[in-house]
A and B are shown apart, each in its own frame.
Chain A
Amino acid sequence: MTGPATVFDKPTDYIGKSIPRSDAARLLRGKGRYVDDMQLPRMVHAVFLRSPYAHAKINAIDISQAMKLPGVVAIYTGKDIAQHVEPYVGVLSHLPGLRSPAQYPLAVDVARWQGEPVAVVICASRALGEDALEHIRVDYEKLTAVTDTLNALSPDAPLIHEEYDSNLAWKRQVEVGNLEEALAQDDVVVVEKQIKFGRHTGVTLETRATVCDYIPGDGQLIMYYAGQAPHMLQFILAKHLDMLEENVRVVAHDVGGSFGIKVHTYGDEIATAIVAKLLKRPVKFTADRLESFVTDIHARDHFVDAKIGVKKDGTIVGMGFNDFTGIGPFSMYPRTSAIECNQILNLTGAPYQFEHYHAVGHVVFQNKTLMCQYRAVGHPIAMAISDCMIEEAARVIGMDPVKIRRKNLIPDDAYPTKSTTGMRFDDLSHHACLDKLLEIMDYDALLEDQQNARGNGIYRGIGFVSLVEVTNPSPMFYGVGGAPIASQDGATVRLDAAGALHISSSVTEQGQGTNAILQQIAADVFGVSIERVKVTTGDTATVPYGGGTWASRGAGIGGEAMLLASHALKEQVLDTAAVILQAKPEDLDIAFGEIVNKGSRERKISLGDLAKIVYYRGNELPHDLKPELIATRHYRVTDFPFVFTNGAMAAHVEVDTNTGLIKILHFWAVEDCGRVINPQLVDDQIRGGVVQGIGGALYEECVYDSDGQMQNASMADYLVPMASEMPEITVAHVETYTKTSVLGAKGAGEAGTGGAPAAIMNAVNNALEPLNCGLWQMPMTPERVLKALGKI
């Protein structure tokens, strides 16, 4: 921990309270500032022609007819765009052996997934641009599409990249102890299952969008984008468009949901920037929903062969698995498409104590949309492998699922400690969370209800998960491997002449309430009314440098930087006040915009009056006193690679054995994210996350045919969670502050999505237990339930 230890010595005014987000007021009145809302003078639209084939050679593109159509300003093919960009490669040095070829924004010679852009029409309107697309003639030579992850590795599979000897992008193995030997012992019960996790995607309601503008004279490129990491994109644009970084400005105003979808490098967005630079005028690209389905990154897509060994008393001896995941034809730049598999290898079984572990991960190229990091990267798979196998083992040995967890969860007094795979843990609370979960869900009553219902032919199930979540990452996540992704974030706090605070931060807002908690922290630590704190995020021209929002780091890292900056400004203001008031700084405090006497709370001078003396009447101050009235601090996690959180969740479901429909009756989530800055915002992060997890568990799947054509690329066909199917979700907290910061906050954004699928699969298999069957494939659709029941 670094920084002031005295911040929480006073009763806090804002931290810990459910204060409504100030920026939501504007959104409720239709005054959002989303990218597609922007209209700039002389703005034109980028409309992309996309490959209808999953794998095809591009022999020629004829744009002559399309060029004649009304409104068409220019048309660029993949070859044209390639001349203006340095290609990018999605590998990182800390994932040794990961390979991926150089990628261009638009396909150049070969299109490798359905939806890959091959040309772009620049046009007066989107509608006219779409008209022109129909008149571009592309001579495609269709190639065999490699779609099935397992078949892609067979020796006779066509190669997606001819320069490689196979379609394998990366393989990693983690071995601790000797699993095979341990599982061969006489007193060990071994359970094996194949678990399939479908491919799904983010379906942010606001599709990806960008407006790029180039200012000749300044030589400045401005990208307005719906995204999460402006500084990362600033680096990428500068590097690949051969510009100086300071001449690239990236601005993210309101973002209509991101969830990891909007933190990657997309060729259509890079091409839009290139075209704006070439034409020296603003260019807008807004993906339509079909484009979103086939070009936004997809997620999951895992085939897992898992096994676990337990003793008859429930002690876990070891676990292991073989994971195959399909990532599309390239590893996504710059975060790579191997991180999810890496997380699964690192995190499976992490809440539990056991000795033997053997996990192998295969990351495989295929002709489908690129797969990359999406909310709760790897966690839903890792948690499902361990917790679904543990509950299955408990069923086999006839043990209660809570009891088997009690026996194996890392004790709450064991920290600091390491997981079997070497993950460093501190300040976790698995048992306390499980206690609280059982208390709020009334487990015994549910068990009784389950027995009674079974008597009536109604099959209800209860499923649990104990989870960890990677939050507040240090440079060990990306920076160490050479990615231009900052692990530290900065915060600036400035006192204006009216006594109000202007704060800015490099973490970004996509609706989760980042701006609100930054205001709460600044108001609380510095001592002004929250209404007098104005916040700026998302603009590389005005905010301090930092990583942005991903991996549940906004509150823990961005919040700590804001705390440090607010405290630094407070010290500076008190030093100035002490001179003006001829008092000692340590006898003074700031409360609700006034300098007060620390003991008596007597008001001495308002912040506005103090600031006016500094700004307007500096002649009243001693010559050697030059207050800045502004402070900037940065923060990064130094003590640990990641600050893990933990939690416990439970699902209560009813399986209709006639229709195969699964109804979630209730869901409970207990989360330990350290200090809760705004309980309502955290609870709703958990709820939204759980519902996203429910989507992956029950509904969402990108269905492909063997030609690599996505069959359900519309919101009418791709099922997302809607209100009528969603349960009430009860959320509770255990607060174990992380010792890595003064604030003590860990992340909370991804736990729900990471844990819910395992809890639901467990609940479904608990419901199906008396029917002697189980379901080990997500999404758990009615058809798959009926197949598991042997009814179809």
Chain B
Amino acid sequence: MNKTAQIELIVNGEKYFENVPVRMNLADFLRNKLGLTGTHVGCEHGVCGACTIFLDGVTARSCLTLAVQADETEITTIEGYETDKNASDLIKNFHKRNALQCGYCTPGMLASSIEYIEQGNPPDRKKVKEHISGNYCRCTGYQAIVDAICTTIQERQSR
């Protein structure tokens, strides 16, 4: 159970070579090995969505992914969304609209939001709610989050 393996991956544009326990999940690897504590762990079984990151361009639950599975992949986390995902407008709208309170769901909520926007989806409140329905937020009641996502899409459309 204490077996380790060497992995090589790119996180937020930076290359890493690390030796990891084979049973370590990706969330713990990002947080504890790389110090990227912006990724949060809420339930450790893929339900709450807080740990959602991008793995080779697609959202993934980093608590359900082993670090060794991320060998030879490219990962983007909340620390990279402003630059690597060009999401500064979304981040600005989250801030302006108060689409976060305690901030614990925010890394996963931003990931799901970026994915929705990148897929070219419309600023349709019902569709947005469905898309983020795998991300639990105890604080906001979700309305502000939906507002921020829709505003961002509308702003991009009118550009």
Contacts and interface: CB of A to CB of B under 8 A. Distances in A.
B47 A716 contact: yes
Question: Interface SS of chain B: helix, strand, loop or mixed?
Answer: loop
Contacts of A32: 37-38, 103-104
B43 interface: yes
Contacts of A512: 101, 139
A627 interface: no
Interface stretch (B54-62, B67-75, B127-135, B151-159): B127-135
A231 to B, nearest CB: 21
B130 A205 contact: no
Interface stretch (A21-29, A575-583, A774-782): A21-29
Contacts of B134: 722
B114 interface: no
A511 B101 contact: yes
Interface in A187-216: 202-207
Question: Interface SS of chain A: helix, strand, loop or mixed?
Answer: loop
| B2, B37, B77, B132 — most chain A CB neighbours (10 Å) | B37
Contact of A688 (B96, B97, B141): B141
B143 interface: yes
Contact of B137 (A24, A205, A259): A205
Given A206-B40, A289-B43, A729-B143, A27 B100 contact: yes
Given A205-B104, A684-B141, A29 B82 contact: yes
Contacts of B140: 684, 687-688, 691
A204 B50 CA distance: 12
B29 interface: no
A726 interface: yes
B105 interface: yes
| A39, A131, A257 — most chain B CB neighbours (10 Å) | A257
A257 B97 CA distance: 19
A28 B136 contact: no
A206 B102 contact: yes
Contacts of A723: 128-130, 132-133, 135, 137, 142, 145-146
B48 A28 contact: no
A30 B43 contact: no
Contacts of A203: 136, 138
A127 B140 CA distance: 33
A651 interface: no
Given A289-B42, A724-B130, A728-B143, A692 B102 contact: no
B98 A27 contact: no
Interface string B1-38: 11000000000000000000101100000011001111
A205 B135 CA distance: 11
Given A28-B91, A255-B102, A70 B2 contact: yes
A350 interface: no
A211 to B, nearest CB: 13
Given A37-B31, A720-B138, A205 B102 contact: yes
A205 B100 contact: no
Contacts of B78: 28-30
Interface residues of A, number: 56
A285 to B, nearest CB: 15
B106 interface: yes
B102 A28 contact: no
Given A32-B38, A205-B105, A289 B44 contact: yes
A716 B31 CA distance: 24
A26 to B, nearest CB: 8
Interface in A716-763: 716, 720-726, 728-729
A288 interface: yes
B66 interface: no
A690 B141 contact: yes
Contacts of A202: 138
B100 A204 contact: no
A481 to B, nearest CB: 30
Given A29-B79, A714-B47, A511 B136 contact: no
| B129, B135, B142 — most chain A CB neighbours (10 Å) | B142
Shortest beta-carbon contacts, A-B, top 6? A30-B38, A511-B102, A27-B103, A256-B104, A511-B101, A687-B141
Interface of B: 1-2, 21, 23-24, 31-32, 35-45, 47-48, 50, 77-79, 81-82, 91, 94-98, 100-107, 110, 125, 128-130, 132-146
Given A24-B98, A30-B79, A715-B48, 12 more contacts: A21-B98, A34-B104, A37-B31, A203-B136, A204-B102, A205-B40, A205-B102, A206-B40, A207-B42, A510-B101, A722-B133, A728-B143
23 contacts: A20-B96, A24-B100, A28-B100, A28-B106, A29-B82, A31-B79, A127-B21, A205-B136, A255-B102, A257-B101, A288-B44, A289-B44, A513-B98, A684-B144, A687-B141, A689-B141, A690-B141, A722-B133, A722-B135, A723-B132, A723-B137, A729-B141, A729-B143
Interface of A: 20-21, 24-25, 27-32, 34, 36-37, 39, 70, 127, 131, 202-207, 254-259, 288-289, 510-513, 680-681, 684, 687-692, 714-716, 720-726, 728-729
